[in-house]
Structure 1
């Protein structure tokens, strides 16, 4: 087992190191301009400029170290620096640090659950309330409006972060839902393909085998033709199954050869198989024949295949008619027979359901039911956009 490559050194350095290096650079540049810079930094009493700079450097460095693991500690450090800076001459420093604490509260609400982000948001609120109460208790001048503004800013920061987190969770939920729907749709597609392919093949094989069994002694030539039809149907079904399995294993580094997707050009083979099973199929073509998108060709072929299979297995009719109509706005297929069947085994199959689902996926219309004069009719209209016609 080979070890994973380690990232470059610069990417392995934590954020705290980068922030500390930035402040060291700032201090080094200032030291070149003023030789007593270090002394002024560490003797900040009465130093209007350098005291807040050192405090800000320390606080931001600690925040960068704690940000991604201990957000509560990062907020606490920032608030401690804010309270400490109240005695300095630069009055803007406490507000800058408090707003930094607000930003940390928003980041925490956006990345952590409620049970963690709410207590973190209460830290700045408690600090403001406690400090204001202390000032009022000791008779120091205090601005309640400023305190309310600071509390409101912390609340707004939490709300913004919480909304960001909810939006991200919603997007993730939509992505998972779309993934589940795609998996379900693919499973239904595979189920339809297997049903159409296997049901047709098994139906034809069963009828041919029964016919061959009955005439084996009296009409050996016809029995031989039945066996030949069984062999042809079996080979075609196996080729279709290999194609489907090849599509399911398309990530295989050495995929096997795949058979072409069936379409309307394969209706001749379907007619021959049905004729061998004792049902004569008449195909009528209407309109100007043209090449259609593969999904439309496949859906049309499977609909005709399933309908003809139902005629062979359930109707008792000796013939049926298939109409393929190429229209300007799409393709219409119709299969009618004059038998006594109901389109499939009553309540036991998924053929009509599968045909309806295929048409629905292409946003077409489908109907199936008994004819007024007897027999059964299956009809489907498959829309084809003009730009998709080749």
Structure 2
């Protein structure tokens, strides 16, 4: 039989194991007690009944000490006092049996109850020994038995406290591990959303430009071949730009040190003129108006403003009539963005662009609203907090 199987059987049958141990212990005790070098301390004929009672009680409390240790502790105490009253001395087998069941009891209950019950039993036996034995209160055997009994209860209480502490530490460690895993999953989900939003913002605009220019080139290829070259040049520039920005985004994702300097594309309202030029080259006329004095913005606000304008104008280019109005207002406590355009045909987009704009605005502490106004034009309104104190 394998060692693991034996251990499993022992753990699943504790009462049987305790009964076997109690039988062996009581048998060996009496064998040594009656066949010792000097024989038993008292004549056998004078204590036969006490030996039988002590042996039966010791076997019973040791064999069943795991089931009801408190009651068995009281039983062992009562039998010990009875034998003291009958014979004038404590029975050594009951002293050991009492310590065994007291240890089990103190380990399985709380500190207050362990010392209340066990301490009461120790005091009762000590008083009975002091009153009913020849040695009196200060007898070494009486004091020694009380001291050893107290020590066993103290050791059991310390063991219980240590195991409770280890269990608490393990529970906290397990909870911390579960919390870390949940936090890691949350961060992964947030990072996936950020990557998806960034890729959408980087790719959508330039792909839209490429699509429009490719359509224009195909349209004029037969009738105006000389107009194909500018369209192909726009396609090449847009493709080159999107490849560079994609490379920068991938570089951020593959960077080994997240705490190092970021290589994310440094877009912001300082690049707005360049962005409007690309739309103009693609055929979108943007009427741009600025209100208030331009100022440096926090990085997250600056990037969010740029991406919101980029996505709004991209949608206007795809679904509009070729014209759009853009207003950027620098207020005392915020930057406000308004993009309006007439709708040529209802769009069938995925909606990820609008979701991305709202997420970017929320990350910067702002808001974005989008929808068709009463005059039939589609409008995007964004408000991003940027107080004067927040600027560098």
Identify the TM-score tier after normalising by the shorter chain: 0.5 to 0.7
Partner SS, residue 333 of structure 1:
strand
Contact kept? 1:362, 1:383, Cα under 8 Å: yes
Confirm or deny that 1:193 pairs with 2:135.
Answer: no
Q: Distance in 2 between matches of 1:184 and 1:264?
A: 29
Q: Of the candidates 304, 307, 310, which is equivalent to residue 302 of structure 1?
A: 307
Alignment of 1:55-94 (within 5 A): none
Whole-Å separation in 1 of the counterparts to 2:68 and 2:240? 79
Per-residue deviation, 1:247: 0.6
Q: Which of 144, 147, 158 is the matching residue for 2:118? A: 147
| Shift in Å, 1:341 | 4.4
Matched, 1:324 2:328: yes
Alignment-derived partner of residue 213 in structure 1: 218
| Deviations 1:199-252, CA, capped at 9 Å, x for gaps | 211111010011111122333443222111111111110110111111111118
Q: Residue 124 of structure 1: CA displacement?
A: 10
Cα 1:260–1:197 change in 2 (3 A) is: closer
TM-fit CA distance, 1:165: 3.9
Return 158-167 or 332-341, whichever deviates more: 158-167
Q: How far apart, CA to CA, are the structure 2 residues paired with 1:321 and 1:147?
A: 88
- Residue 76 (structure 2) aligns with: 134
Distance verdict in 2 for CA 1:158–1:323, change over 3 Å: same
Hey, what's the Cα distance between the residues in 2 that align with 1:177 and 1:363? 25
Which position in structure 1 is the counterpart of 2:178?
A: 173
Q: Distance in 2 between matches of 1:366 and 1:209?
A: 32
Q: Contact 1:341–1:376 at 8 Å: present in 2 too?
A: no
Q: Distance in 2 between matches of 1:302 and 1:366?
A: 12
Structure 2 length as normaliser, TM-score? 0.59
Distance in 2, Cα, partners of 1:260 & 1:366: 23
Q: In 2, distance between residues paired with 1:148 and 1:386?
A: 73
State the SS of the aligned residue for 1:138. helix
Tell me what 1:353 maps to: 355
Deviation at 1:154, TM superposition (A): 7.0
Distance 1:283 1:179 in 2: 43
Offset from partner CA, 1:151-201 (integer Å, 9 cap, x none): 888777665554444344333333222222111111101100111111211
SS in 1 for 2:288: strand
**Number of matched pairs:** 265
State whether structure 2 residue 288 is matched by structure 1 residue 286.
no
TM-score by length of structure 1 reads 0.59
Q: Is the 1:289–1:326 contact (alpha carbons within 8 Å) kept by the matching residues of 2?
A: yes
Q: Is the 8 A contact 1:263 1:300 kept in 2?
A: yes
1:203-352 equivalences under 5 Å are 203-251=208-256, 258=263, 260-315=265-320, 317-342=321-346, 344-345=347-348, 348-352=350-354
Greater C-alpha Rg: 2
Matched-pair contact (CA < 8 Å) for 1:341–1:375: no
Structure 2 distance, partners of 1:124, 1:385, is: 71
Provide the C-alpha distance between the structure 2 equivalents of 1:144 and 1:349, rounded to a whole number of angstroms.
70
The structure-2 alpha-carbon separation of the partners of 1:159 and 1:252, relative to structure 1 and needing over 3 Å to count, comes to: closer
Match of 2:189 in 1: 184
Hey, what's the Cα distance between the residues in 2 that align with 1:265 and 1:382? 16
Name structure 1 gaps, 5 residues minimum: 1-122
Runs of 5+ in structure 2 lacking a partner? 1-64, 85-89, 91-97, 99-113, 121-152
Conserved? CA contact 1:330–1:383, under 8 Å: yes
